[in-house]
């Protein structure tokens, strides 16, 4: 159960990093 919680936290944090990266790319492309 603890491993499942850790894996879920890892997935959520990687999803947040991925969406932040996409937002940054959109911002960079718009303001070139």
Domain range summary for the chain, segments of one domain joined by +: 1-32
Amino acid 24: pLDDT: 96
The pLDDT, as a whole number, for residue 29 is 94
Handedness of CA 9, 15, 24, 27 (dihedral sign): negative
Residue 21 φ then ψ, to 5°: -65, -40
The alpha helices in 1-32, defined as continuous H runs, are 2-30
pLDDT at 32 (0 to 100): 81
Digit-coded pLDDT (tens) for 1-31: 689 999 999 999 999 999 999 999 999 999 8
What pLDDT is stored for residue 30 in this prediction? 94
Q: How far apart are CA 26 and CA 32, in angstroms?
A: 10
- Whether pTM > 0.75 for this model: the answer is no
């Amino acid at each position: 159960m603890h491993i499942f919680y850790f894996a879920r936290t890892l997935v959520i944090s990687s999803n947040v990093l991925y969406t932040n990266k996409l937002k940054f790319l959109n911002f960079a492309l718009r303001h070139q």
